[in-house]
Structure 1
Amino acid sequence: MAIEQQLKDKTYYQMFINEHENIHPILALGEAFQEEAQKDLPDLADIRFAQGEVYFHHKDYEAAIFKWENITNELEPWARKNIADAYYELGMLSQAEDIYTALEVDDPTLRAEVALKLFSLYIHREKVNEAVTTIKKAVQTNPDYPNVTSIARDFFEKEEDWSNAVELAVNEAKRTGSLEWFDILLSYIEMGVTKAFAPNYFTQALVNLYNIDVKKFEQLVSAFWNSWRNENTYLTWMNEVNHLLLNLDLNRDDNWSELSKLHKETYISLIAGGYFIKELQDYVPVLLTNWMRLADNKNIVPAAASVLAWNELFPASLAVNIVEEAEQLISVTSFDMDELEECLKLFEAIMTWAESNEMGNNNRVRWIVEKIVDFDTQHLLVTGICDSGKSTFINTILGEDLQDSPTSSVVMFSHGQEEEIFEINDEECRKLSGFSDFRERMGRLRNALNSIIEFNYPNNFLKEQKFALMDTPGLNGNQQDHYEVFKYLQVADSILFVLDANEPLTNKERAIINQIQEQAPDLPIHFIISKMDVFEDEQDALRIFEETKEAIHSSWPDAQVMPFSSQYDRNQQIGDLKEFLKLCKNTRNIEDKRLAKLLYYIRTTIAGLLQKRIDIENQLIETVRWNEEMHMKLNGGLNQLKDTELHKSRMITKMFAEIKESVEVELIENVPKILKACAELIKEDSNFSTIHLDLNKEMNKRLQDYLEEQVMPKFYRTMQEWIENCQEELGQSQEFLYELGDGFNQMYGEEYVKLDCDFKVLDDWRRDIDRMTSHFQLETVNILLRRTPSQILLKSAGKLFGALSQNKSMLFNKYKSFVENEDYYEIAKTVSRQFFQPFELFEKSFERDVHLFYKNPLNQLNRCLEEAQSEIELNQEKLKELNANPELFRDPLTLFEVRLRQFEWMTVAGKGMQTVY
């Protein structure tokens, strides 16, 4: 071992030097070399090796290399390694690397030294990957070599190569069992660099640590637990660590405080609503089993309660012995906790979940819980059948006529610094504007019981007695109304039932009281017998009171009974009421009773949310059905409207065409007559050389007069009639659309569509017709100036023979005959085209204008169609999600019920096998 150390340190040369001689190593080795050389078979290798070392230490690396190159004995591998060291020192790194990598040796020390040198070389040359490979190989082949693991760790940490650093720490911890390496691993966990590894990678190391140091084991497991808490591998870790713990011989006496705390926190987080039950069923039973095995004194009751709660909702998921142990522990172990705080935390968690999942704001139940935790105020619920005198009694207590008519909502009257009135329903808490607004609410009938009214105002009686009065609508035979009123029974600390002295404690009243006691069996009930003034004889009044009181006590022996009349002296009655209400106060175990009420509302809230999920599904189904029906009806209405538009467009166009055709027929018939009549203008003494010009001019004038004075006025009147007919036709369409819109609005339940047509179209038509018929100017028509053979012949003859008197008679007859017998059909067509030319664009716009008339109804129906289709698709998608993942709603609420049962078990810890409902 000493020689290996000398070879490592390059001090092998000291073997040739007497430690007592004060001589330079070079001189000593030179003398030894000469002495050895004198022998018959000299062995100079060892001396040369030693000389190389001395040269190396004196930085004569080339001389050292020369000496080491000639070593052929057992020191040759070390010599080769030293040569590489010399090249390294000379900066000839490539040559050094080649020699290091070419060395193949069996000596573990030399192999480790070569690896470390090669590792240093790679770092120097910035070959990080090669450096990693080399140092890992060095650790793997000779991990006990001095400093090799420390060098590797320092290198990995410096390079932030946490994967290899963690791997090194785990392997060394398992190999050596050294707590130092477990501490290094702990530091890596706390740095967060172990998260990239699968949890099972560390299992064996943890098992080894458990057998070495239990406390360090808990510390390391807790660190892993916290590091994976918010990672995707969290459940994988839960599975791994809990199966690991199951296989260990855990002893609760070892005080696993940190692991016990982590089990509690993890269990609470798992059942907080973020996971599906099918995910948890593989993890929670094992988690609870281990929690029971290692729970410390602070957590043994929560652990046992959790086991029992989970077992209730998921029977047979836990081992029988674990459940039995939990039952035993919960019955004998007392537990101190802030029950109200824990209960409110659970309630708030449910409310937060409900809001985040669009299950409503649940303002009413929030208000109820707020009143339940107000321990400074007693809540007295005053009820009775209709006309029992309840409102009169309440007004007497309040000292004001606040209830002057039968109420339709539940009202809580309480003392406040100033008058404030609030209406609370599931969706909102709204402040009312004042007393008149309150009266209006009291008189309504529809959905009155969906809200509760809180009336705060300064009242000394309520302040002194620390009471709040809850007034209910009179109870009649409507069971649904009873159910809505009974929702508030658990808010009350006691009930005051008002009886009518005229007919006290009827069968109907007994039935109602029995219903109340079925809903709230622990709620004390007391009685007011009102209207006692109906008895003129005091003895009769006293008799009725005593008989009624006896009947009450036969069924409700603890009930307090008091006579009342609005005609009695108020001051006296108020004094009596104070004493009476003191007897009615339910102050014994008020905290426990209020806690039980709070648990009741938590349980009913969970049940209500489960029902709300069903209601949401049914509502979605109904919404889809309704929108599909609306879509079908809207589509039918739209198609009918389109048909109407097409029909009206064609009808209007046809009516205009008929008018136009009739005018054209008239023109074709009359224009030739007018032109032929112009023959009378031809005389024998006419100037036949220019007569064709004169006749053409006159003919155009007569046509202009005819069109202006006869055709156009008649056409205007006809067009006015056409407008009236169009208005009538379009008016019928509007009436139809109003009926159609009313039908749709009835289905919508509001004025959702307004199918107003655009009658401005008719105004535009009137304006256009007025403009186009106000004046007509006929462009000069070429009647007798055309190049027809007859006209050419006549015009030529007129010019040639017109000056000769003997020829005028002949020309007169010819012209007259020509004008009277000429075919003017084409001229009539030309005149007709000119006449109707201004109306061409007007006629072409009918289809567009009719569309504009119907544009708003069309747009409205198309919008409604699109909205209906969108609602169908949206709600179908929601239904698909609900049906595909029913656990989205069911599972969180089931887990809330688990938490509720856990809490209920904790409240009875140490009190025997009782539970709270």
Structure 2
Amino acid sequence: MRLEKQLIKKIYYETFLIENETHPPLQVLGEAYLNEQKNEISDGSYIRFAQGEFYYHHQDFESAIFKWEKVSNELAPWAQKNIADAYFELNQLSVAENVYTSITTDNKILMTEIILQLLSLYIEQNNINSAFAVIKEAVSLNPDYPNVTTIARSFYEEQQDFDSAVELAVNELIRTESLPWFEVLKEYIDKGFTKNISPDYFYQVLVTLNNVDQVQFTQIVSSLWHSYKNEQNYLSWLQTINEFFLQIEIHSSDIWDKISSLYEETYFELIQGQYMLNQLHDIIPNLLTNWLKVVNPSHSVFPSSAVLAWNEIFPSKIDSEHLKHAENLLIYSINHVNGLEYSLHLFESITQWAQKHDLEMSNRFRWLVEELVDLRTNRILVTGTSGNGKASFINSILGENILENSTSNVVVFKNEAHTEINAITDSTITTTEDFSDYQTMMSLDRQTYGDRACVEFKLPCKFLNKNKLTFVVTPSFNRNNDNRDETFEYLNSVDELLFVLNADSPFTDKERDILLSIQEHTPNLQIHFLLNKIDNIYSEAEIKRVLHDTQMRINAYFPNASIFPYSSLYTNRQQLNDLTEFIHFNFNHKNIDTERTKKLLFFIRKTIKYLLDKRVEMENSIVDSIKWNEDMLVKLNGFINNLTALEKEKIQLITESYRTMKYEIANDLTENIPKILQSCSDLISEESDFGQIDIELNTAMNERVQKYLEQTVLPNLARSMQNWIAISNNEFLQSQSYLEEISEGLNSLCGENRIQLECDFKVLDDWHRDTDRMTTRIQMEEVNILRRFTPAQFLLKSAGKLFGVLPKNNAMLYNKYKQYLENEDYTDVTASIINKFFLQFELFENAQERDINMFFRNPYNALEQAVENIHIEIQEKQDTLLIMKSNPEVYHDSITLFELRLRQCEVILNIGDDNSYTDLSLETNIE
């Protein structure tokens, strides 16, 4: 290796200077070359090689190249490499590259040096692809060569090629098992450079580190775990790490705490509902099994309960050995888990999920959960049979007559500084501060809300405040037990039960049966009794006897129950103090957290069942909505067809009415205009100027026609038009009335004021305006009546001009003109006048159909828009239904995971109960 180092540094020439250190190197090498030439068999290759090195160091690159080109011994490959180095220094990069790549050698060191030089050359040329190729070749050829992997890592990082950098780190870590490469790889992982790499790529890294250093192993596992989290390869990573842990032995040690925490965190992430069950079936069982392997036994509650809960929901997924191990760990572990907090988190998860999927959560369940997590207040359910004075007892405590005997609602009384009353149902919450509204709330039933309301009554109350109590008062049991369900539904929301008895007939068989049923329903609920109306008993001795007899009968069925005698008529401080002492002594809860958690889990189970029902209800509602909309579509299209027919009918009626009116006026004109024109014969006399008589008569005839039209025809026409508008208005009003009936019926079906079919009566205003304009005045152009070019008129005009100059001819002309005027056929003239007169009325008539269309346009648009909206709604509902039916797992998988978490809560809650694990069946099942 010493020679290779000299050749690499180009100081081989120093071997010739060992005995001549005081002489100049060039002189020594020259003398050595001369001496070599004197030998009979000479080879100056060594000296030429050394001379080339000396010239190179003094930047005489041409001389160096010349010398090295003459080297022909075993140093020839090194000489070739040096020649390429010289060309590199001369910046003749292409020549240098050709020389480098032409060198053939088996010397790994020389080949590595050539490759490294090529790397520098390619970087200089900005030929990055070739640079990548040669550095990979160097690492592959001689990774132990000094600085090769360091240079490769630096190059990859400079080029931002972190895939290659990660590959280098992985290979070197596996090959060298060295700490530096572990740190490099961990840095890459922590910076996110590996998140898109398939997790199984790191399997051998995990094997190596687990064998070499388990601390480093846990660190790299943690880094990879966090890097894959929320990435597309996350589940693949979990499969990889699960497979790995299944294959290795785990010995109890604190070094696994970090891995255990990762398993715990991951498990709770996976069961939040963001993944489908088909994605989790192959992951969760192994994940839980491995979690049990790495967890500290003292913290094994969560993984053990998770294993047992998963096995109940998905049997046969975890082998019996691991199940037995989980049971053993659970039996001998100490529960440090805050079950109430964990259960509340589960309920909040369900609530958020329901909101995300537009599912209606029960307001009542939400309110009850909030009540249960308030550990500062003790909740007592107060009930009894009808007539036992339950209402009078409550009112005496409150100091006000609030509760009525016949109430059919559950009422919750709580102490608060200010009065507030809330009516709470599954679907609504109604709030008021007015006591008068309370009576209305108490009368609300299922017909109002769809389900019975629970009324929360907050008010200042010293007794409730002093004792930190909330009274949950249920309707009394009557003869038919009609209120049984209302009472039983709230049993799991209270801490104990106070059953009110009547001192006149205490603890009847009916009351016994009711309480036994309650005990069967909630076996752990504490039950005590209040003997009301004690004032009805006439003596102290009798009171003692009644109390003793009642206590004996009660204790036969409820051995731990106590009785408190009470009189609602004589409420005094001492009686209330005694009641306080009775409550504190008898209603004692050593572990209220656990009891409240059990009750909370009950309502979580009820909530899951409620959401399952809501899912079915939602799907049925969508189907019903589609059917309803389809029926509505048929109705709307029918109404549109009816409207089209109505519009056509009105167009025909109104336009025909108008044409009839116009026809009658035209008939009058046809009859009267010729008469008017004939009557103009009285304008002629024998003294007339028959040379100009045609002009004068034409003017006079037009004036008489104009006067007739203005003074007679237009007033009549105006009256006729107003009458026609009145008729049209009646038709429009009938149409509007019909459309209002339609819209009222449609809106009644819709349950809201959705469709307005308002016609445009402005059309009538336009018609009134146009009628006033057309019938106020008419100005017609003068009609050529006597100046037309007809034979008769031509002869009369000619005769007038020819003979009119002679007075004796006037009589003859007078008779001719008079005869002509009285006997002339004015049909064409009359038609012309009528056409001109009716011109604007015809324009008005031509626009009538368009105007009537405008009158009906808004109802058309409203109906067509309603049809379009219903089409859109049907499509949206069908799309929603398709998604619900095609991807039922989106809903049911989440519900199943909520059941899993609920079951785990129940398992945890039962730790310590007889040191055994209890198998509780869920009431909510997925079909």
CA 1:540–1:827: 2 relative to 1, 3 Å: farther
Aligned to 2:636: 634
Check the 8 A contact 2:421/2:456 in 1, yes or no.
Answer: yes
In structure 2, what is the equivalent of residue 231 of structure 1? 231
Deviation digits for residues 122-181 of structure 1, max 9, x if unmatched?
A: 334443332332222122112222332233233333443322222122222222333432
Matches within 5 A, 1:446-845: 446-447=448-449, 449=451, 451-473=453-475, 483=485, 486-498=488-500, 516-517=518-519, 519-528=521-530, 555-562=557-564, 566-568=568-570, 574-575=576-577, 577-582=579-584, 585-683=587-685, 686-776=688-778, 779-845=781-847
Residue identity opposite 1:123 in structure 2: I
Q: Secondary structure at the match of 1:329?
A: helix
Q: Distance in 1 between matches of 2:593 and 2:856?
A: 70
**Is 1:135 the equivalent of 2:141?**
no
- Which sections of structure 1, spanning at least 5 residues, go unmatched? none
Report Cα offsets for 1:736-779 as digits up to 9, x if no partner: 22221221122122333343333343344344434433444555
Letter in 2 for 1:377: T
**What SS does the corresponding residue of 1:453 show, helix, strand or coil?**
strand
Partner of 1:853: 855
Q: CA deviation at 1:410?
A: 3.2
Partner in structure 1 of residue 53 of structure 2: 53
Q: Is the contact made by 1:493 and 1:586 (CA closer than 8 Å) also made in structure 2?
A: no
Distance 1:467-1:798 versus aligned 2 partners, 3 A rule: same
Give the match's secondary structure for 1:379: strand
User: 1:416 matched to which residue of 2?
Assistant: 416
- Contact 1:264 / 1:299 at 8 angstroms: preserved in 2? no
Task: Compute the displacement of 1:873 (Å).
Answer: 1.4
Which SS does the other structure have where 2:838 is aligned?
helix
The Cα of 1:479 is off from its aligned counterpart by 9.1
CA–CA separation in structure 1 for the residues paired with 2:212 and 2:635 = 80
C-alpha change, 1:546 and 1:175, in structure 2 (3 Å) is closer
SS at match of 1:256: helix
Q: Which amino acid aligns with 1:844?
A: N
**Cα distance change, pair 715–537 in 1 and its aligned pair in 2 (3 A):** farther
Q: Find the aligned partners of 1:20 and 1:697 in 2 and give their Cα distance.
A: 151
Counterparts of 2:300 and 2:859, CA distance in 1: 72
Q: Which moved further from structure 2: 596-605 or 298-307?
A: 298-307
Please state how far the C-alpha of 1:36 moved relative to its aligned partner: 3.1
Matching residue's letter, 1:191: K
Deviations 1:676-718 (CA, angstroms, capped at 9, x unpaired)? 3444554555554444445444434443444344433433333
Instruction: Give the match for residue 215 of structure 1.
Output: 215
Contact kept? 2:444, 2:452, Cα under 8 Å: no
Q: Say how many residue pairs are matched.
A: 917
For 2:273, the aligned partner's letter is G
Match of 2:339 in 1: 339
Relative to structure 1, the CA distance from residue 794 to residue 481 in structure 2 (aligned partners, 3 Å threshold; closer, same or farther) is farther
Equivalences for residues 57-136 of structure 1 within 5 A: 57-136=57-136
1: CA distance, partners of 2:217 / 2:605: 41
Letter in 2 for 1:815: Y
In the alignment, residue 914 of structure 1 is paired with which amino acid? Answer: T
Residues 384 and 501 in structure 2, CA contact (< 8 A), matched pair in contact too: yes
CA contact (8 A) 1:52 1:68 kept: yes
The answer for the alignment partner of 1:886 in structure 2 is 888
Quick check: 1:913 aligned with 2:912? Answer: no
Q: Is the 8 A contact 2:196 2:233 kept in 1?
A: no
Comparing 563-572 with 29-38, greater Cα deviation is found at 563-572
Q: Could you tell me which residue of structure 1 aligns to residue 245 of structure 2?
A: 245
**1:259 positional shift:** 1.6
Deviation at 1:882, TM superposition (A): 0.9
Moved more, 354-363 or 247-256: 247-256
The separation in 2 between residues aligned to 1:226 and 1:812, in whole angstroms, is 126
Separation in 1, partners of 2:548, 2:854: 84
- What is the aligned partner in structure 2 of residue 7 from structure 1? 7
Residues 439-448 or 626-635, more deviating: 439-448
CA distance in 2, matches of 1:549, 1:689: 143
Give the drift of 1:566: 4.6
| Aligned residue identity for 1:725 | I
Q: Is 1:255–1:296's contact at 8 Å kept on the other side of the alignment?
A: no
The whole-number CA distance in structure 2 between the counterparts of 1:300 and 1:769 is: 96
- The 1-side partners of 2:38 and 2:703 are apart by 160
Change beyond 3 A, Cα 1:701–1:11:
closer
The answer on whether the counterparts of 2:384 and 2:500 sit within 8 Å (CA) in structure 1 is yes
User: Are the equivalent residues in 1 in contact too, given 2:384–2:390 (CA < 8 A)?
Assistant: yes
- 1:104 Cα deviation after fit: 0.8
SS of the residue aligned with 2:498? strand
Percent of residue pairs bearing the same amino acid type: 45
Q: Could you tell me how far 1:463 is from its partner in structure 2? A: 0.9
Which deviates further from its counterpart, 233-242 or 120-129? 120-129
Partner in structure 2 of residue 872 of structure 1: 874
Q: Which residue of 1 aligns with 2:925?
A: none
CA displacement at 1:891 relative to structure 2: 1.0
Match of 1:276 in 2: 276
Cα shift readout 1:611-651 (whole Å, capped 9, x = no counterpart): 22222211211221222222221221122112211211221
Name the counterpart of 1:260.
260
* Structure 2 Cα separation of the partners of residues 356 and 484 of structure 1: 31
Q: How has the CA–CA distance of structure 1 residues 270 and 478 changed in structure 2, closer, same or farther, with 3 Å as cutoff? A: farther
Tell me the TM-score normalized by structure 1: 0.92
Gaps of 5+ in 2: 922-927
Q: Is the 8 A contact 1:475 1:482 kept in 2?
A: yes
Q: What RMSD over aligned residues (CA atoms) do the two structures have, in Å? A: 3.3
Task: Give the aligned residue type for 2:815.
Answer: N
From the superposition, tell whether residues 55 and 298 of structure 1 become closer, same or farther in structure 2 (CA, over 3 Å): farther
Indicate the residue corresponding to 1:288 in structure 2. Answer: 288
Alignment correspondent of 2:924 = none
The answer as to whether partners of 1:627 and 1:868 remain within 8 angstroms in 2 is yes
* Contact 2:87 2:96 survives alignment (8 Å): yes
Distance in 1, Cα, partners of 2:503 & 2:828: 109
Partner Cα distance (2:481, 2:133) in 1: 83
What amino acid maps onto 1:462 in structure 2? L
Secondary structure of the corresponding residue to residue 297 of structure 2: coil
Comparing 90-99 with 285-294, greater Cα deviation is found at 90-99
Distance apart, 1:313 and its partner CA: 0.8
- Report the Cα distance in structure 1 between the residues aligned to 2:701 and 2:904, rounded to whole angstroms: 113
Shift in CA distance, 704/143, structure 1 to aligned 2, threshold 3 Å: closer
Range that drifts further, 69-78 or 685-694? 685-694
State the one-letter code of the partner of 2:916: G
> Could you say if the C-alpha distance between residues 817 and 126 of structure 1 is closer, same or farther in structure 2, counting changes exceeding 3 Å?
closer
Task: Report the CA distance shift for 1:909/1:533 in structure 2 as closer, same or farther (over 3 A).
Answer: closer
Letter in 2 for 1:162: F
- Show the counterpart of 1:354: 354
Q: How far does the alpha carbon of each residue in 1:359-393 deviate from its partner, in whole angstroms, 9 at most, with x for none?
A: 23544333222211212211122335666643333
Which whole-Å CA distance do the structure 2 matches of 1:855 and 1:785 have between them?
51
Does the 8 Å contact 2:297/2:333 carry over to 1? no
C-alpha distance in 2, partners of 1:479/1:125? 97
Counterpart of 2:895 in structure 1: which amino acid? L
Tell me: CA distance 1:849–1:154, structure 2 relative to 1, closer, same or farther (3 Å): closer
d(CA) in 2 for partners of 1:136, 1:208? 23
Larger RCO (CA within 8 A; separation ≥ 6): 1
Following superposition, the deviation at residue 24 of structure 1 comes to 4.3
